[in-house]
Structure 1
Amino acid sequence: MTDRASAAVSAGGAEIPKLGFGTARITGDDCKQAVETALEVGYRHVDTAQMYDNETAVGRAIADSDVARDEIFVVTKVHPDNAAREDVLSSTRASLDRLGLTTVDLLLLHAPSDRAPLEETLGAMNDLQSEGVVDHIGVSNFEVGGLERAREISETPIVTNQVKYHPYHHQDDLLEYCANEGVCLTAYSPLAEGAVPGDDRLLEIGEKYGKSAAQVALRWLVQQPSVAAIPKAASPDHIESNAAVFDFELTDEEMGVVGDLGDGRWQQLAARLGLR
């Protein structure tokens, strides 16, 4: 069993902590307090974005934390409207200013954009890496074809594709591609926007381990080798409980039961990826 401190996905030279803290739709002091709590209870991967309007709050939380900056994997995202070269450069520098950081660990393009060719956007992101203000780059909300093209275009590795992935919404083709190509799949909305916690089937699995349905769902995700998850929570209790997923391990059968809740082909995929 892997402990939280060492649980990471290795992808393109990046070590991405398997459990991150998502901050979508949390702003201001609520966001600052949530990120501070997350860091206190052990999260070392914090996800924000230009679109979220909370980079300043995230940066204040990091600055006020007792956790050293080099222990925190900070992710932000370029708004699709900022995909043109000069906009990528200026908006990323503005993100750094709001975060109060000289470097971000990972910069993503938040979604495919029609504002500029992908070559232009990724070229600007590559240049930011050359300047040393971005360590790694990736994409978000890309399908397999788009991810493959991004990897062909970029001079540096595309280390992750951040997409919606949870027990009821599968990403079979993308997951198989990422696993085979050494790309991390980062799962956002891993608790299905609040649908997971009340699922009796997940609760039944959790009873054996003294765990909640949400903890079972998160464990199912982080137990997949190429997957990281970024649950969002506002209350300290939920933030802490979401982090407590590294002290138990689901059996192959239980992984299959959770996988079969969704709309994918879990059993066949698990066999191909060596997950059973």
Structure 2
Amino acid sequence: MSAYLTALRAIVLREALRFVHQRERFLAALVRPLVWLLVFAAGFRAALGLSIIPPYQTYITYETYIVPGLCGMILLFNGMQSSLSLVYDRETGSMRLLLTAPLPRGWLLFCKLLGSTLIGILQVYAFLAVAWLFDIEMPALGYVAALPALLIAGLMLGALGLAISSFIKQLENFAGVMNFVIFPMFFLSTALYPLWKMAESSDLLRDICAANPFTHAVELIRFALYLDWNLAALGWVALSLAAFLALALWGYDPARGLVRRKG
């Protein structure tokens, strides 16, 4: 058991040190959602009306509505950037050293995933603090209640990036695939507009949004911030997490790589 904990501490610390040495990564994580919050929201406010929908008990400003979606955006970008580092580590050879440690490969990948998720959660709370300075506030206890939701949502989105990285062998290719995944997931979700608003335009788009795992991650965070739990969203996020983790474990299976090389 001590070996497992030692590996967990070492990998999480490595992720933390890498993040500390990449200050521009932290700034980018804040600037990106703040641009949406302070610039784009000002233009969308008049165009997109909002009704009273759960978990809200009254009408809210558009800026308040998109905060959970922007929290999800931070976790999504962080998960993809962390997986990008895996591709880099594989090219430099350090990934091989990590995965040849005398511990289950699944545990090593989970430690990497947990480390990146904790960093993403730190970025989310920094964003919420800046939003609070602009008078966009949530219930006080909601900031605490959102922690488990942010953790499971971050693990799910990080596991997606982990699964994608297992099939991408070159750093240049991953950047293109990352954009191909991030933007459809973000825009075809409830991050920027509710499902009923999407249904006014197209029932098909509404169904796509409803099936998007990122939508359920956003709704899980949204309800948690208002001291409520969306059990349906929790179930879908947990199911997606299990599926993405299984795909990542299969993708990083050395036996599969050996068979592919022989073929």
TM range (shorter): under 0.3
Indicate the structure with greater helix content.
2
Indicate the structure with greater strand content. Answer: 1
TM-score by length of 1: 0.24
Structure with the larger RCO, 1 or 2 (CA within 8 Å, 6+ apart): 2
